Amino acid sequence: MMQYLQLLVLSTLLFQALNATSFLYQPDSNEVVTNFLTDIAKAMEDENPIDYFFRDDFSYKGCSQKFNKVQVVGILNNLSAGTRFSFNLVHSKYLNDYLIEYRLSISARGEGFHVDLILSVENEIFQLVSGRAPDCGRNLFGSLAGDGSDVIVKELIAKVENAISSGKTSSFANFFTDDFLFRGCKGNYGKKHAVVGLMLASKSAKFHYISSKFIGKDQIEFQLGSKELSGFFNIRLIGNAWLLNSGKTTNC
């Protein structure tokens, strides 16, 4: 009887061990991260989409601003096009069976800094979950990309230009809040008149991006200019869309 009980206990323990996640084969975290970095670097080099490498709810906590997936992907796309930078894996570790935390050392424009990232490997789908700046003196989305507002503004400008090219006033109007107000040299204009006036101005003059900055959690101020005109605009995040909320001329 005692021998039977011992055999039963041994069989139970063996069954639990074979089915426990902790006893399953777990690839080296450095190897997993290195392969992931190779894949994303290849995609950037070939100018292929990198959205897939980030989970939809990805967020990066910088020193003064939090960035979502769209902002980070936009920043990296801009960097890959015009900035020479390199990164090296410092260390990595499993937080659990499905998450790996790792630190990168990044060099760009003669500066070096670190970023901490968390990679999900669940079901062999490798995607970044979140990230943060461990040292705020120099970090990826600060020293290289300002506060990240330029990515949002340039993306909005591209959409607005497409709407203007279509010639459809209704499409252009969708980029304005209902209470939009433009302060011009000869008076103030609400949304309806501003939409018509800005469409006409855009057709007669080529405007270019000058600068931008966050002026609140969900507000950005940016400047556009041409040879003859210059103006400041304010955009607000309404739901999931950035919309023009106000504007003013800088020279009359």
pLDDT digit string, tens, across residues 118-174: 999 988 899 999 998 886 644 455 544 456 677 788 888 888 888 777 766 667 788
Contact yes or no for 140/205 (Cβ under 8 A): no
Per-residue model confidence as pLDDT tens digits over 161-172: 887 777 666 677
Residue 230 phi/psi, 5-degree rounding, is -150, 145
The CATH T-level fold of domain 149-249 is Nuclear Transport Factor 2; Chain: A, (3.10.450)
Whether residue 115 contacts residue 133, with contact meaning beta carbons closer than 8 Å, is answered with yes
Q: How many residues does the chain have?
A: 252
pLDDT band at 84; cut points 50, 70, 90: low
Percentage of the chain modeled with pLDDT above 70: 75
pTM to 2 decimal places: 0.52
What are the domain boundaries of the chain? 27-143, 149-249
More confidently predicted of 105 and 201:
105
Q: Is the dihedral of CA 65, 96, 100, 70 positive or negative?
A: negative
- Identity of the amino acid at 223: Q
Instruction: Note the pLDDT of residue 117.
Output: 95
Give the tokens for residue 6.
Answer: 């011992």
Strand 127-132 to strand 54-61: parallel, antiparallel, or no bridges (unpaired)?
parallel
Q: Pick 27-143's CATH classification: 3.40.50.2020, 3.30.390.50, 3.10.450.50, 3.40.50.1820.
A: 3.10.450.50
Q: Which residue in this structure is represented by tokens 């090219």?
A: 165
Could you check whether 27-143 and 149-249 share the same CATH topology?
Answer: yes
